[in-house]
Amino acid sequence: MNASVIDLRSDTVTVPCAGMRHAMAEAEVGDDVYAEDPTANRLQDRMAEMAGHEAGLFFPSGTQSNLAALLSHCRRGEEYIVGQDAHTYKYEGGGAAVLGSIQPQPLEFAQDGTIPLDRVRAAIKEDDFHFAVTRLLALENTTGGRIVPQGYIDEARALTREHDLRFHLDGARVFNAAVGQCLDLADITAKFDSVSICLSKGLGAPAGSVLVGSRELIDRARRWRKMVGGGMRQVGVLAAACEYALDHNVDRLADDHALAAGLAERLLDIDGLRVEGDAARTNMVFLTCARGDDGNFRQWCFERGLRFGGRNPVRLVTHKDVDEAQMDSAAALIRDYFAQS
């Protein structure tokens, strides 16, 4: 990363440190399509164990891991209930519909990032040949940086058991949710039938997600992974980076949360700017220009070396490759913008 640039677009911009690269170089590898890569096998077992599930499967991306999960739970003509702004609906190219003939039933999120359960209940279709068969409820945690309350997950799970629905979590940043609540990963993930977990976000691996679930589900997912081109060979070089991330970069997510909290605090008193919720959400800060959509704000900051994404709100994401001094600089630059505009 260019040292003078402060890149807060996403926690995916992190680069492997020397220790991680060393672990990758030293990785013991084999052909993973034959399930003979010892490092990938060890990572999958470890993630399954940590998450409270029977089995795990390594994927090149979270998008493919979510897709394989949806395809493994739902058949053609069935549907999944999902948040209107959820990654598994909005940001995966419509993959479940395009590749799986699975119909999404999107529902608006409430302010806190939950899908109100009365709305979920109302969307579950009766057994009637006019309707798609409702098969699955998909949640996301964290969602827009928000931690989904444990009590809500319990109630959602009870609803899925009552209606014989499968229960999937897009846990791209579920480690942020665990660390943010001082919980073990399994306290969250064991409540679901399947969970997709990214190692390539705040955990800092260059690529890789792991899907966890029952052995039967993972066997189905392996077939879909092969079909969509995710069967890789000496994948241990990536799995080693993921193991390194689990060893070194989980607890330190709390540092990312602290950096984001500090950044939000520095921005609270700026005229013309609103910090959503008046605080950071795990490692994210969302900012709204009070006088309405301001397309210049992001560009002005970009030209001065501060990068972030979105538009009213814009999103600033902290990660392991930024520090406190950069938060100071970022806040000062944003303050300058609103002072002169």
Ligand X SMILES: *Cc1c(COP(=O)(O)O)cnc(C)c1O
The residues binding ligand X (CB under 6 A) are 61-63, 66, 87, 140, 170, 172, 198, 200-201, 209
**209 or 282, CB closer to ligand X?**
209
**39 or 66, CB closer to ligand X?**
66
Closest CA to 157 of 147, 166, 170, 148: 166
What is the smallest separation between the CB atom of 16 and ligand X, expressed in angstroms?
16
Calculate the alpha carbon distances from 195 to 115, 192, 264, 312, 330 in Å: 18, 7, 30, 31, 35
Contact call for residues 203 and 239 (beta carbons, < 8 A): no
What is the smallest separation between the CB atom of 61 and ligand X, expressed in angstroms?
3
Amino acid (1-letter code) at residue 9: R
What is the smallest separation between the CB atom of 91 and ligand X, expressed in angstroms?
7
Q: In the numeric block, which tokens belong to residue 307?
A: 């990068």
Contact call for residues 207 and 235 (beta carbons, < 8 A): no
Furthest-apart CA pair in the chain: how many Å? 61
The angle, 0 to 180 degrees and rounded to 10, between the axes of the packed helices 236-248 and 38-51 is: 40
Q: In the numeric block, which tokens belong to residue 233?
A: 């060979």
Instruction: Compute the distance between CA of residue 87 and CA of residue 318 in angstroms, rounded to an integer.
Output: 19
Instruction: Compute the distance between CA of residue 96 and CA of residue 219 in angstroms, rounded to an integer.
Output: 18
What is the smallest separation between the CB atom of 106 and ligand X, expressed in angstroms?
15
**62 or 337, CB closer to ligand X?**
62
**266 or 319, CB closer to ligand X?**
319
Closest CA to 58 of 182, 192, 241: 241
**197 or 273, CB closer to ligand X?**
197
Contact call for residues 47 and 56 (beta carbons, < 8 A): yes
Instruction: Compute the distance between CA of residue 40 and CA of residue 27 in angstroms, rounded to an integer.
Output: 10
What is the smallest separation between the CB atom of 3 and ligand X, expressed in angstroms?
26
**249 or 334, CB closer to ligand X?**
249
What is the smallest separation between the CB atom of 174 and ligand X, expressed in angstroms?
10
**198 or 331, CB closer to ligand X?**
198
What is the smallest separation between the CB atom of 202 and ligand X, expressed in angstroms?
10
What is the smallest separation between the CB atom of 125 and ligand X, expressed in angstroms?
26
Phi-psi region of 192 (alpha: psi -120 to 50; beta: other; left: phi over 0): beta
Q: In the numeric block, which tokens belong to residue 232?
A: 């890789």
Whether a cis peptide bond, with omega within 30° of 0, leads into 142 is: yes
**266 or 281, CB closer to ligand X?**
281
Contact call for residues 104 and 96 (beta carbons, < 8 A): yes
